[in-house]
């Protein structure tokens, strides 16, 4: 379909603005813009049709099953959208006086209390805008905590698991720490013997996801916590997989000191095609003095912002965080209450049921009960039929499903990481399982069908190598490059070589 | 389902969890609420806030009450866009990917840059991102930020700096703007120089001179700009900046007590492989048709891990989409008109207030949609008494700047009318 710029007609516009009879303010010549930006020029009906057409070329949880492992793609209740748009929330300025924003402050305070209860820790900051920013904030807290104890120089290393999300090592570098990686053992747990060798007085902390990205609960979590606490280090919990254990096992009770929670995963903030999200952090009491400012606190019946935190790391985002996300996640938590436990139980039930239906047709690298997600491997399909995890993923699109996460975690070759969530009916799980089984048969009977998939999407399989090579990242208007020439290039080069 | 799994109870599914870390009671979260009960509860909370429909507001200082056209709400409610994850599988996600490509183009057009990422968290974190890019691009470990840059932006840069191994130097303002010579001296050995245009006081900086001062020291000039100003103010790319960043909220997003919004980060093409965050690129499918994918992913954390240019995964795509829709609705003519209207209304407010005895803090400066005034008393008192008349007159500058205890920062968007300004003058007049 055309880009919005290719539909543009000079002089057309979406809407009119009010005009006032006022003296015209003058921009000094050297600062005035002479060449207008080439924004689209369309009437409103064309704008609506353009974006409606774009939406038809997209797939959300509203469209269908979206078992993207580690992303917890659950249904997003619509009442939460309506509530976030209440004028008292939507049109509230963050510098409104505290006496005139008591409802917003109370909502944030209540959300903090709920997250404290779910995580089993003591103090919360809602400020981080995403899980990865929560990670970075957590590492900044470690740095501030050890500096305060006079161990800032000494403790320079963070340990992460080889199954960790890529954000963990990236955050470690951004926080100025050295990285060390602990291996996974044959049962899919952290290799405790290896961990024991690594942890020492130079260790600032461990970053761990539990259940891991393999969808497995670490059976040695108590021992791991003891190892770290004995050397004076801290434990960081990557909360990406919290949906497995709400009301069942709390990170604080497992021994973790800092937790981030992905509000767009466990607590149902719609992810909007890439964001927004929310990454609040919850910490043990000894880390509270270092949390970002301002803190949302309660004084009797009043709520206020506390800026007087002399040991605070500072600010990691503007104001107090993405408030609209808090409205949705708070509403979500209140709609469940203590039944969050059932939410997690059904998520785990659904995952294990799907696993049971698929285990004969795909390789299962770690044969254990899964938590909220599980990882299969397509390595036999690859060895026997030359069919990769990517081919399976693309073929699933033809059956009307969003593919699972593929090629992650890195320790599993040809990985297919499947997370159904609790909001899917058994019939949906069965339809998906039937499709996966059919694809495994197709791999044997008609592998070309899979290699050329998808067949039923608005585009065929896309060339990511070409995109990276040419790096066309904006529309070029009159000089927009023609990629069909680029594709001809290698052949021309070969022809030249031949000559 | 349990039989298929081979267990007899749901509890058995959790047998790998050691007994010592199991949670032994019910979560204390209050009883589950039905949709109606939930709505009542949140409506009560919302009712206790004084939003800008209940009070005439001149608050700005980084978050603005610009008009959001209805078409923005319409597009953002499309479930296929609202409820999608990051477009890892491009054939499922052409809608979002094309929208981001169009957004990147709009940001490049506004800023005069070659490449934009798919958005950052907000206008503060993109400044920290820019410092990280600059550090690696120049090998230098100092960054310069003008004091007339939004205090929250400066605070976030300072919070990130120790981890990045950066020293942060601030350059004071002189009568509401930055002195290019002073900036030039500070920029020696700096990786980048960040300044805001219009600056936090609403004043127009001598931006081309500031960029030149940075470039003289071979530091990257980074302009923190207001998208709503870029129909009337020159694009940073046209006056020598290497990067342009900013808070996108004013384009397409409600105030929403500060979020979620989007930050934008755009750069000249030499920095493309150092950019943080998602970038969408054009490609072809196997049939030779145009399509879009996440590209240059070897910069990113899921590929490069500890060597990545950033840890960002979740960004603010939906809010950036809102920006694209709003800016498409305005078009180039509409964007210029919004800028001119804000500027004229603000100038009118400034002169009306001066006539009434409320003088500008920096009367000799040209301002855009915001300006600072001296109220002649403690600004908090001025706010309190104005609010008794149903007007929130602005932000107390003394919170961030010494010697400004009587000063208010007043923001005037196109949503305010000349009659609203009359009410502001009445509420603030001594």
Distance of CA B368 to the CA centre of its chain: 17
CA distance B300 to A253: 33
Q: Tell me the C-alpha distance between B195 and B147, whole Å.
A: 8
Q: Which residues of B touch A6 (CB under 8 A)?
A: none
Residues 129-148 of B with CB under 8 A from A: 132
**What is the reported pLDDT for B378?**
97
Does domain A81-338 bear CATH number 3.40.50.2300?
A: no
Disruptive mutation site among A23, A39, A348 for chain B (greatest number of B CBs within 10 Å): A39
Q: Which residue has the tokens 């004043």?
A: B203
pTM above 0.90, yes or no: yes
Contact of B282 with chain A, judged by CB distance below 8 Å, is answered with: yes
Q: B255, A90: Cβ pair inside 8 Å?
A: yes
Measure B395 CA to nearest chain A CA, in Å: 7
Q: Helix, strand or coil for residue A401?
A: coil
pLDDT of residue B327: 98
Q: Which residues pair with A235 in a beta bridge?
A: A206
Architecture of domain B71-324: 3-Layer(aba) Sandwich (3.40)
* A chain contacts of residue B36, beta-carbon cutoff 8 Å: none
Answer for the pair A262, A239: CB distance below 8 angstroms, yes or no.
Answer: yes
- Please give the mean pLDDT across all residues of chain A: 96
| pLDDT surpasses 80 at A480 | yes
Nearest beta carbon to residue A39 from set B106, B159, B235: B106
Residue in B174, B250, B198 with CA at minimum distance from that of residue B367 = B198
**pLDDT tens figures, B24-66:** 999 999 999 999 999 999 999 999 999 999 999 999 999 999 9
What is the least distance, in Å, from the CA of B72 to any CA of chain A? 9
Calculate the alpha carbon distances from B139 to B125, B131, B189, B193, B352 in Å.
21, 11, 10, 14, 50
B22 touches chain A (CB under 8 A): yes
User: Can you point out the beta strands (E) in B243-318?
Assistant: 243-247, 263-267, 280-284, 290-294
Q: Are A216 and B16 in contact (CB under 8 A)?
A: yes
8 Å CB contact between B110 and A37: yes
Q: A64 and A401 in contact (C-beta within 8 Å)?
A: yes
**Which 3 state secondary structure label does DSSP give A1?**
coil
In this predicted structure, the answer to whether residue A161 has a pLDDT above a threshold of 60 is yes
Contact with chain A for residue B25, Cβ under 8 A: no
CATH class of this structure's domain A346-451 = alpha beta
What is the band of A112 on the pLDDT scale with cuts at 50, 70, 90?
very high
Which two structure tokens, joined as six digits, stand for A453? 């998939």
Task: Give the confidence band of A378 by pLDDT, cuts at 50, 70, 90.
Answer: very high
What residues of chain A lie within 8 A of the CB of B345, using their CB? 20, 22
CA distances to A117, B158, B217, B290, B303 from B24, in Å? 13, 43, 63, 56, 40
Band (A486; pLDDT cuts 50, 70, 90):
low
Determine, for residues A92 and B257 on separate chains, whether the beta-carbon distance falls below 8 Å.
yes
Say yes or no: B322 contacts chain A, CB-CB below 8 A: no
Domain boundaries, given as residue ranges, for chain A: 4-56, 81-338, 346-451, 466-498
- A423 to chain B, closest Cα gap in Å: 14
Helical H runs in B170-245?
180-186, 207-216
Q: Do B86 and A52 touch (CB under 8 A)?
A: no
Note the pLDDT of residue A496. 40
* CB-based contact B282 A483, cutoff 8 Å: yes
Tell me the pLDDT tens digit for each residue of A343-352.
999 999 999 9
- pLDDT at res. A487: 62
**A260 inside 8 A of chain B by CB:** no
In this prediction, residue A488 carries a pLDDT of 52
Residues of A in contact with B161 (CB under 8 A): none
pLDDT tens per residue across span A206-215: 999 999 999 9
Chain-centroid distance, C-alpha B286:
38
| Residue among B238, B313, B418 minimizing CB distance to A132 | B313
Tell me the per-residue pLDDT of B193-205, one tens digit each, with 9 for 90 and over.
Answer: 999 999 999 999 9
- Residue B360 in 3-state DSSP? strand
- The nearest CA of chain B is from the CA of A393 a distance in Å of 9
Structure token pair of residue A95 = 């510098």
Please list every residue in chain A whose beta carbon sits closer than 8 Å to the beta carbon of residue B235. Answer: 33, 35, 37
Per the CB < 8 Å rule, is B53 touching A91?
Answer: yes
Least confident of A18-27, A263-272, B247-256: A18-27
Task: Give the residue on A whose Cα is nearest the Cα of B350.
Answer: A25
Helix (H) or strand (E) holding B84: none
* CATH 2.60.40.10 matches B56-69+331-428: no
- Residue A497 clears pLDDT 50, i.e. is over it: no
Q: What pLDDT score does A65 carry? A: 98
**Chain A hits for B94, Cβ within 8 Å:** 54, 57-58, 457-459
Record: contact B65-A337, CB cut-off 8 A? no
**pLDDT reported for residue B302:** 87
DSSP letters, A125-159, are E---SSHHHHHHHHHHHHHHHHHHTT-TTT--EEE
Q: Is B386 exposed, middle or buried (0-12, 13-18, 19+ CB in 10 A)?
A: buried
- Contacts A–B by Cβ distance under 8 A: 690
Judged against a pLDDT cut of 80, whether residue A299 lies above it is answered with yes
Please check whether residue A43 touches B, CB under 8 A: no
* Residue A303: both structure tokens together: 């709520």
Which residue in B122, B117, B180, B121 sits closest to B148, CA to CA?
B180
Q: What is the mean pLDDT of residues B412-417?
A: 98
* Helix (H) or strand (E) segment spanning residue B116: strand B115-116
**pLDDT number for residue A251:** 98
pLDDT at position A489, please?
52
Kindly state the average pLDDT of the residues A446-454: 98
A108 phi-psi bin (left φ>0, alpha ψ -120 to 50, beta other):
alpha
The CA-to-CA distance between both ends of chain A, in Å, stands at: 39
Confidence of residue B106 (pLDDT cuts 50, 70, 90): very high
> Is there a contact between A267 and A329 (Cβ–Cβ < 8 Å)?
yes
How many Å lie between the alpha carbon of B281 and the closest alpha carbon of chain A?
Answer: 5
**Nearest chain B alpha carbon to A356:** B5
Looking at residue A491, its pLDDT comes to: 44
What share of residues in chain A are helix, strand, coil (percent, to 5)? 45, 10, 45
Contact residues for A455 (Cβ-Cβ < 8 A; gap 6+)? A398, A449
Nearest to A176 among B162, B272, B366 (CB): B162
Residue B301's pLDDT is: 87
Min distance A418 CA to chain B CA atoms (Å): 14
Kindly indicate the confidence band of residue A244, based on its pLDDT and cuts at 50, 70 and 90: very high
81-140 in A: which are within 8 Å (CB) of B? 81-97, 100-104, 106-107, 114, 117-118, 120, 129-133, 135-136, 139-140
Contact between residue A365 and residue A377 where contact means Cβ atoms under 8 Å apart: yes
Determine whether the interchain pair A322/B16 forms a contact, defined as Cβ–Cβ distance below 8 Å: no
- Residues 352-411 in B contacting A (C-alpha not used; CB under 8 Å): 366, 383, 387, 392, 395
B303 falls in which pLDDT band (50, 70, 90)?
confident
When scoring B38, B207, B260, B303 by the number of chain A Cβ atoms within 10 A, the one with the most, hence best to mutate, is B260
How many other CB atoms sit within 10 Å of the CB of residue A448?
Answer: 8
- Both tokens assigned to B313: 């995964």
Could you tell me the maximum CA-CA distance found in chain B, to the nearest angstrom? 83
Domain assignments of chain B as residue spans, ordered by start: 56-69+331-428, 71-324
Q: Determine whether B246 is exposed, middle or buried from the number of CB atoms within 10 Å of its CB (0-12, 13-18, 19+).
A: buried
Kindly report the average pLDDT of chain B as a whole number: 97
Asked whether the predicted pLDDT for residue A499 surpasses 50, the reply is no
Q: Is the pLDDT of residue B226 over 90?
A: yes
Taking CA–CA distances from A425, the nearest residue in chain B reads: B1
């Amino acid at each position: 379909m055309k880009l919005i710029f290719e539909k543009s007609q000079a002089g057309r516009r979406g809407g009119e603005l009010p005009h006032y009879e006022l003296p015209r303010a003058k921009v000094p010549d050297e600062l005035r813009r002479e060449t207008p930006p080439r924004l689209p020029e369309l009437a409103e009906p064309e704008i609506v049709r353009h974006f409606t057409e774009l939406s038809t070329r997209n797939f959300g949880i509203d469209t269908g099953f979206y078992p993207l492992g580690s992303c917890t793609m659950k249904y997003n209740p619509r009442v939460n959208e309506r509530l976030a748009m209440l004028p008292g929330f939507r049109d509230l300025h963050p510098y409104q006086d505290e006496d005139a924003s008591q409802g917003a402050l109370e909502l944030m305070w209540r959300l903090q209390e709920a997250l404290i209860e779910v995580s089993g820790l003591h103090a919360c900051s809602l400020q981080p805008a995403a899980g990865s920013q929560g990670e970075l904030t957590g590492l900044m807290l470690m740095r501030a905590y050890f500096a305060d104890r006079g161990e800032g120089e000494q403790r320079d290393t963070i340990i992460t698991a080889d199954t960790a999300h890529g954000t963990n090592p990236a955050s470690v570098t951004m926080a100025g720490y050295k990285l060390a990686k602990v291996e996974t053992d044959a049962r899919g747990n952290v290799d405790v013997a290896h961990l024991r060798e690594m942890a020492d007085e130079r260790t600032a902390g461990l970053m761990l996801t539990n259940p891991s990205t393999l969808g497995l609960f670490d059976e040695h979590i108590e021992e791991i916590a003891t190892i770290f606490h004995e050397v004076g280090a801290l434990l960081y919990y990557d909360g990406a997989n919290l949906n497995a254990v709400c009301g069942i096992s709390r990170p604080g009770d497992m021994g973790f000191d800092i937790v981030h929670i992905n509000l767009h995963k466990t607590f149902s903030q719609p992810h909007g095609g890439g964001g927004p999200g929310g990454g609040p952090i919850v910490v043990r009491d000894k880390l509270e003095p270092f949390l970002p400012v301002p803190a949302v606190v309660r004084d009797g019946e009043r709520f206020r912002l506390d800026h007087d935190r002399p040991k605070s790391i500072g600010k990691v985002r503007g104001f107090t965080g993405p408030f609209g996300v808090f409205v949705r996640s708070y509403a979500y938590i209140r709609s469940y209450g203590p039944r969050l436990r059932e939410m997690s139980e059904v998520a785990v039930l659904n995952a294990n049921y799907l696993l049971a239906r698929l285990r004969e047709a795909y390789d299962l690298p770690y044969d254990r009960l899964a938590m909220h997600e599980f990882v299969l491997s397509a390595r036999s399909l690859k060895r026997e039929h030359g069919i990769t995890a990517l081919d399976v993923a693309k073929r699933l699109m033809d059956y009307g499903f969003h593919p699972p996460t593929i090629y992650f975690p890195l320790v599993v070759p040809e990985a297919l990481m499947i997370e159904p969530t609790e909001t899917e009916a058994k019939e949906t799980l069965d339809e998906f399982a039937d499709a996966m089984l059919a694809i495994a048969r197709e791999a044997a009977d008609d592998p070309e069908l899979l290699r050329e998939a998808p067949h039923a999407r608005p585009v065929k399989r896309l060339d990511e190598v070409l995109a990276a090579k040419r790096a066309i990242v904006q529309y070029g208007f009159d000089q927009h490059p023609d990629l069909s020439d680029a594709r001809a290039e290698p052949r021309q080069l070969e022809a030249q070589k031949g000559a | 389902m349990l039989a298929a799994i081979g267990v007899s109870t749901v509890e058995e599914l959790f047998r790998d969890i050691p007994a010592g870390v199991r949670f032994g009671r019910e979560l204390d979260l209050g009883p589950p609420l039905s949709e109606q009960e939930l709505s009542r509860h949140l409506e009560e909370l919302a009712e206790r806030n004084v939003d800008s429909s209940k009070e005439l507001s001149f608050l700005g200082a980084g978050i603005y009450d610009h008009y959001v056209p209805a078409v923005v709400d319409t597009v953002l409610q499309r479930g296929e866009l609202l409820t999608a994850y990051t477009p890892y599988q491009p054939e499922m996600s052409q809608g979002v990917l094309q929208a981001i490509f169009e957004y990147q183009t709009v940001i490049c057009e506004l800023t005069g840059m070659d490449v934009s990422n798919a958005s950052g968290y907000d206008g503060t974190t993109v400044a920290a991102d820019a410092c990280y890019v600059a550090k690696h691009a120049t090998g230098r470990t100092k960054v310069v930020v003008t004091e007339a840059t939004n205090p929250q932006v400066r605070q976030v840069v300072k919070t990130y700096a120790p981890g990045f191994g950066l020293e942060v130097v601030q350059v004071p303002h002189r009568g509401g703007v930055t002195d290019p010579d002073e900036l030039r001296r500070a920029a020696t050995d700096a990786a980048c120089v960040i300044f805001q245009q219009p600056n936090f006081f609403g004043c127009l900086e001598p931006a081309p001179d500031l960029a030149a001062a940075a470039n003289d020291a071979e530091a990257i000039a980074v302009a923190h700009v207001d998208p709503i100003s870029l129909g009337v103010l020159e694009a940073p790319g046209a006056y020598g900046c290497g990067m342009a960043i900013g808070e996108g909220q004013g384009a397409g997003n409600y105030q929403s007590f500060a979020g979620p919004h989007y930050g934008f980060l755009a750069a000249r093409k030499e920095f493309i492989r150092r950019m943080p965050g998602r970038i969408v690129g054009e490609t072809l499918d196997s049939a030779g048709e145009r399509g879009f994918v996440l590209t240059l992913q070897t910069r990113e954390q899921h590929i490069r891990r500890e060597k990545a240019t950033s840890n960002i995964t979740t960004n603010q795509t939906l809010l950036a989409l809102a920006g694209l829709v709003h800016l498409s609705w305005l078009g180039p003519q509409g964007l210029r008109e919004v800028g001119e209207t804000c500027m004229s209304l603000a100038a009118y407010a400034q002169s009306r207030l001066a006539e009434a005895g409320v003088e500008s803090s920096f009367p000799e400066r040209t301002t855009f949609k915001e300006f600072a005034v001296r109220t002649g008393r403690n600004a908090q008192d001025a706010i309190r008494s104005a609010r008794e008349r149903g007007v929130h007159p602005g932000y107390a500058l003394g919170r961030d700047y010494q010697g400004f205890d009587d000063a208010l920062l007043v923001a005037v968007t196109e949503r305010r009318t000349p009659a609203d300004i009359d009410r502001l003058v009445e509420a603030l007049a001594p």
